[in-house]
Structure 1
Amino acid sequence: MTGLGACRTGQARTPSPPAPGSLDPGGNPVSTIVAPVSRTLPARRVAAPVPVDPAPAGRGPLDVLGVPGQVNLDYAATAPCARAAADAVAELLPWYGSVHRGAGALSRRCTLAYERARQRVGDFLGVRPDDHVIFTRNTTDALNLLARALPSGGKVVTFASEHHANLLPWPVDTVRLPVPGSADAAVRAVDAALRELRRGTDGSAPILVAVTGASNVTGECWPVADLARAAHRHGARFALDAAQLAPHAEVDITALGVDYVAVSGHKLYAPFGVGVLAGRADWLDAAPPYLVGGGATRTVGAATHDVGWADGPGRHEAGTPNLLGAVALAAVCEALTSVDRAALHAREQALLAHLRAGIAAAPDVVELRTFGPDSPRVGIVSFVVAGRDSAQVAAELAGRWQIGLRDGLFCAHPLARRLLAEAAVRSGRADLPPTALRASIGLGSTTQQVDRLLSALATPR
């Protein structure tokens, strides 16, 4: 797998030129529409959202919002809001109106903003000219849409290590491969499974290989480009669950050679309820609409079954779209494209190494992993404290130390349970709890925040 630092998935792209300034409905420059909406609440209720312990100053749009004193180490669940997303929403709110459904100035402005967002997200993901970029609610929604678009008789190959979003939507006869012990083993397993599925056939039946880019449990990166090449050797397509990968490394559909990619805005610092499925158009245009209703149709006759469905992204975007979510996500994508992502990645990798070293040194703490300890990974670490219930540890970290992280099985129950059993064998401990803790970092994370967690873990009860 090619890499950006430890986890790059595609070749670097030339940053897109700056977006045009604010335009009126006729496309002419206008002055500032409105000052950003104040996000300050009464002091007696809660402190105003401000950047939490910001990383090196000067990022501007990529500063993240948070609450002073609270340490957020739960980026893998929901990343904090980037200033670029908050500002984009605040600027558009006075103009908020219908999309694709009106002739007035507000509707025209919102339609333009929505379609520009689609273009900017597509550019960020490196889509091909004939790919569709469909706005969904999140990665789970996007993969459910793809499952609905799978042609009749199609087969799916995936791993038992997947997040539920890439484990549960597929048909009941899906081939679920065992959790591999290494990245190379994953490629060999896909190659062998596809060879067996094609045995004795003419090779024309549709097959989709669906794999995560970075594990939401361990942060470990999977060999996306190699897996896609293995799929294509057997005439199969490849879908990438990039929910955890895209916030940390470049995801370029063209460079990777993948057929579909799914991402979530709330993982990408745009927590406004949006996701994306991007990829090849033919299966999507041939499938029944994911939702039926206004916007998904070309015509509706006197009989309700007399319907002509739209082609393109609108076919699967019935109803009023999530304009603010799309605009927020596009703003973050544009901000990330304009900075040195290799430098961001290097900083995160240094912080991740510090976190993992501290966890390894903490008494009675065992890290979970699928591959080797030195395998490439993004800023996610799952672990257990021997002899301690993980939910109780999480509650103590929140109450005593003001540290927020995740406990449980992380919506990846088969994988998490397997890794907990493996950690017990590897550590020789019989007192590991049945669930785990997960610390995850990102743009706003600092050494001081990580040190607070490590101090808490090293402090006796």
Structure 2
Amino acid sequence: MSDRLDVVGADLTVTLTSGEQRRFTHLDYAASAPCVRAAADAVRDLLPHYGSVHRGAGLRSQRSTLEYEQARDIVAEFAGARDGDTVIFTRNTTDSLNLLARALPEGTTTIVFDGEHHANLLPWPTPVRLPAPADPEDAIQSARSAFASVRGPGLLAVTGASNVTGEIWPLRELIEVAHSYGGRVLIDAAQLAPHRPISLSDTGADYVAFSGHKLYAPFGAGVLAGRGDWLNAAEPYLRGGGASTSVGDQAGDVVWATGPARHEGGTPNLIGAVALAAVCDALLHADRASLDEHERSLLAALPEGVTLFGGKQPRVGIVSYAVPDPAAVADRLAREHGIGVRAGMFCAHPLVRRLGGGGDCGTGGLLRVSFGLGSTHDDIDRLLRAFDELGVRGIL
């Protein structure tokens, strides 16, 4: 693996309750992935030249503007953007989805499954909410039935990979269904993009959204990429400097920009955009087949956990377990074994309840293990030994 994808802080140590010093094992990538060298180096190299974007004639401004727009081009390549697609930098996936929700043409029907992360469940105005499917074919048929009743524009907003089970949804088939009815598809790729190539052109998806903090670039940037027509016709997401091309003397006398600038009002997050693009570039040049093979070997070493599709779908490096008092287990893993996992409902309450993790985030929910770049078989072995020592039932 290229050293550009080495994890910063891979040698971080933690003091256990026993007093022992041990290398920290981070298995909570699905919440926030660690920074990799490509992002850290890009930020270090940019800082001496940091200046305003699209605003000045000096060296710093010119360099910063160039870096920002080059970052957009790299992210567009990473997302498989087509001619005419727009790439907008946002704060994160949640911000991207809210932006698109505000840009929907009047009368648009949005279709979502209730197995979604809240970021893709809550922004849409009066959505048609479908039950989480029992299997991929159920998902396809449910989407088909929903689109058959849509009058006017329709949008299916669907995750690429579940943040609870890690299972990859049948995206190509769902996109084909939506397009057969003249609808569109938004892929929430927050969990998919760090693990698998994503491509608007290859899948035919209309929009894709993802976050830098899950893609090894934790500097506050996200992306919405996709078809430009709805975005150019919508009211600006952030009204302010840069979002307009002309402002007159009277209130309302404004000519709004088109393209990304329309929704990127104010000073943009140059650092975040450049860091994210650096990781995208590193992944574009990486041996993704080898990375995927390694991740699959780590998954194979873990017990399966809860599943939405009965374990029949491929999954990314996320596995959740239904265990008694998951919060207590996570706390002991951290204090006694130096292992960081996640316990709770993962901002996917309807799905977690359905999978047997009812209750609140303090005493209920599930126990989630997630990993990615930099994760090793030693990490998984340590986790399994810790499960055994803690006597965790329902896993081993």
User: TM-score of the superposition, structure 1-length normalised?
Assistant: 0.80
Q: Which residue of 1 aligns with 2:56?
A: 102
What is the CA distance between 1:389 and its match in structure 2? 1.3
What is the CA distance between 1:456 and its match in structure 2? 0.9
Q: Which residue of 2 aligns with 1:140?
A: 94
> In the aligned structure 2, how far is the partner of 1:450 from the partner of 1:374?
22
Unpaired runs of at least 5, structure 1: 1-57, 199-204, 361-366, 423-432
> In the aligned structure 2, how far is the partner of 1:267 from the partner of 1:350?
21
**2:316 equivalent among 368, 378, 382:** 378
> In the aligned structure 2, how far is the partner of 1:218 from the partner of 1:406?
13
Q: Secondary structure of 1:157's match?
A: strand
Q: Which residue of 1 aligns with 2:307?
A: 369
> In the aligned structure 2, how far is the partner of 1:299 from the partner of 1:259?
30
Which aligned pairs between 1:16-415 and structure 2 lie closer than 5 A?
Answer: 58-66=1-9, 67-68=12-13, 69-172=23-126, 174-198=127-151, 205-356=152-303, 367-385=305-323, 388-415=324-351
Q: Secondary structure of 1:141's match?
A: helix
What is the CA distance between 1:372 and its match in structure 2? 1.3
> In the aligned structure 1, how far is the partner of 2:234 from the partner of 2:164?
33
**2:356 equivalent among 398, 412, 420:** 420
- Compute the RMSD of aligned alpha carbons: 1.2
What is the CA distance between 1:105 and its match in structure 2? 0.3
What is the CA distance between 1:421 and its match in structure 2? 6.1
Q: Secondary structure of 1:278's match?
A: strand
What is the CA distance between 1:303 and its match in structure 2? 1.7
CA contact (8 A) 2:357 2:365 kept: no
AA matched with 1:381 = V
AA matched with 1:439 = V
Structure number, greater radius of gyration: 1
Q: Secondary structure of 2:143's match?
A: helix
> In the aligned structure 1, how far is the partner of 2:90 from the partner of 2:311?
35
What is the CA distance between 1:373 and its match in structure 2? 2.1
Against the structure 1 CA distance between its residues 460 and 85, is the aligned structure 2 distance closer, same or farther, given a 3 Å change threshold?
Answer: closer
AA matched with 1:193 = A
Q: Secondary structure of 1:407's match?
A: strand
CA contact (8 A) 2:169 2:313 kept: no
CA offset digits 1:222-250 (Å, max 9, x no partner): 01111001000001011100000011001
CA offset digits 1:255-303 (Å, max 9, x no partner): 1000000010111100000000000000000000001000101111112
Q: Secondary structure of 1:246's match?
A: coil
CA offset digits 1:372-393 (Å, max 9, x no partner): 12421000001132xx311111
The structure 1 segments of at least 4 consecutive aligned residues displaced by more than 6 Å after TM superposition are none
CA contact (8 A) 1:420 1:434 kept: no
Q: How many residues align?
A: 376
Q: Secondary structure of 1:65's match?
A: coil
> In the aligned structure 1, how far is the partner of 2:200 from the partner of 2:293?
22
AA matched with 2:370 = S
